[in-house]
Amino acid sequence: MKVGVVFGVSELANPKAFEKKASEFITNLAQEFDVVGGFFISTKRDFREAREEVNFNDVDAIVLYPLTGGTEGPLKEFFVYRRPIVIYGDPFNNSLAAGIELREYFRDRLVPSTLVKDFNELKAALLGYDDMREVLDRFLRMRIGIIGRVSPWLINEKFELPYTSISLKKFYEYYEATTDAEGWKAVEEIVGKAIEIKEPGREDLVKAGRIYLAIKRILEDYRLDGFTIGCFDLIGKLKATPCLALAMFNAEGIPAACEGELNALLGMMIARRFFDKPAFMGNIADYGESYIILAHCTAPLIGKYIVRSHFESGMGVGVDVQLPKGRASLMKIRGRKAVVAGVEVVGQEHSDFRCRTQVKLRVEDAGDFLDGTLGNHHLLVYVDSEELADLLSELGFEVMLY
């Protein structure tokens, strides 16, 4: 197991006073693991110099040892590597105090982080991460992106994980590089399989195909595993929406969220990476004692579907998908917290005053679930709720299971 090691020393302290302690620590660790690094860091400049010497992306875990307090600032920068972290603290020089602060910083950013104070605990923590290496790598090495911006009404959206940001200006460049003929070819088969086409005309469908192709090329060029897009901003310029494109990507195995919401995208990524299932991202449109109705204008094309316009704008191309009946899970992620409920998909709704895909879920104590959930935009995933909750816990989320 390859382990990166970094020591933190306050700018007020003399690093020479800690050289012996650091040397003994590395010597002991090197008897059990392949150790790289061993730098003393006091400032962010020291961090930048250290990353030029060692590629911490290549290690299996990182050990941070704050030898003194006041080292939280430079040591927290190691979260960008998305590697499991063990923080070693000792009872002197405010080492443990700094370690506790660092642990919470990393956990808030969903980086597995453990605080230990002796070598046996350190060894056990590293071996534990080694046992979970495959699961953690699949989670920590995800490459996600946002096209445009987070929609302004998502007032609870806070996201601390690294992601790639692509401007709408760049998206329009990709869009303009497509042709109408290419756009139609991209959606022709999808349109042909629809059980009905209501509002959209051929021009709307061509634009939807061009949006799909533009995003597909962005994913290839930026090497993204999933994305979200600030979709409403497209309406003013293109008189079009990406709803159909998102439905196609989610059916193809590429997680795709709307409204620029990164937390929803993260949940979609987890559902796809660990269960190979698409997720339906929906608004809670109504509820009763034992039911919830989810609705949105895009949904993975995993059932029969009607091609429609986008509900709020009356423009573009949305979809009304007949999602399968059966047992499933309802999930909401925000930051390091998650709620999960076991549900049963019992049928579809078709109100003209809601988004196009409308699904009715049987939920025990729906009112209690809504009182405890973390905001709008929930994900419907056809997986067992206890399995999903257990996985989320393993990945570092604080999970409430209903």
What gap in Å lies between CA 10 and CA 289, rounded to an integer?
A: 57
- In this prediction, residue 290 carries a pLDDT of 96
Q: 382 falls in which pLDDT band (50, 70, 90)? A: very high
Closest by CA position to 385, among listed 361, 363, 365, 402: 402
Q: 314 falls in which pLDDT band (50, 70, 90)? A: very high
Instruction: Supply the mean pLDDT for the chain.
Output: 97
In the chain, where the domains are located: 2-139, 142-401
SS (H, E, C) the chain: CEEEEEEECCCCCCHHHHHHHHHHHHHHHHCCCEEEEEEEECCHHHHHHHHHHCCHHHCCEEEEEECCCCCHHHHHHHHHHCCCEEEECCCCCCHHHHHHHHHHHHHHCCCCEEEECCHHHHHHHHHHHHHCHHHHHHHHCCCEEEECCCCCCCCCCCCCCCCEEECHHHHHHHHHCCCHHHHHHHHHHHHHCCCEECCCCHHHHHHHHHHHHHHHHHHHHHCCCEEEECCHHHHHHHCCCCHHHHHHHHHHCCCEEECCCHHHHHHHHHHHHHHCCCEEEEEEEEECCCEEEEEECCCCCCCCEEEECCCCCCCCCEEEECCCCEEEEEEEEECCEEEEEEEEEEEECCCCCCCCEEEEEECCCHHHHHHHCCCCCEEEECCCHHHHHHHHHHCCCEEEEC
Q: Which amino acid is at 358?
A: Q
- Residue 184, CA distances (Å) to 6, 179, 207, 216, 242 in order: 55, 9, 8, 15, 14
- In this prediction, residue 205 carries a pLDDT of 98
CB under 8 Å to 17, separation ≥6 — which residues?
none
Q: What is the pLDDT of residues 164-201, one digit of tens each?
A: 999 999 999 999 999 999 999 999 999 999 999 999 99
- In this prediction, residue 228 carries a pLDDT of 98
- In this prediction, residue 238 carries a pLDDT of 96
Q: What is the pLDDT of residues 120-166, one digit of tens each?
A: 999 999 999 999 999 999 999 999 999 999 999 999 999 999 999 99
Q: 358 falls in which pLDDT band (50, 70, 90)? A: very high
Q: Which amino acid is at 17?
A: A
Closest by CA position to 111, among listed 36, 161, 173, 73: 161
- In this prediction, residue 292 carries a pLDDT of 98
> Strand 144-147's sheet: what is its strand order?
164-166, 144-147, 226-229, 256-258
- In this prediction, residue 27 carries a pLDDT of 96
Q: 348 falls in which pLDDT band (50, 70, 90)? A: very high
- Please calculate the CA angle 59-26-68 and round it to the nearest 5 degrees: 95
Q: 261 falls in which pLDDT band (50, 70, 90)? A: very high
- In this prediction, residue 364 carries a pLDDT of 93
Domain at 2-139: CATH code: 3.40.50.10940
Q: What is the pLDDT of residues 22-71, one digit of tens each?
A: 999 999 999 999 999 999 999 999 999 999 999 999 999 999 999 999 99
Mean pLDDT along residues 234-252: 96
The answer to whether the predicted template modeling score (pTM) of the entire model surpasses 0.75 is yes
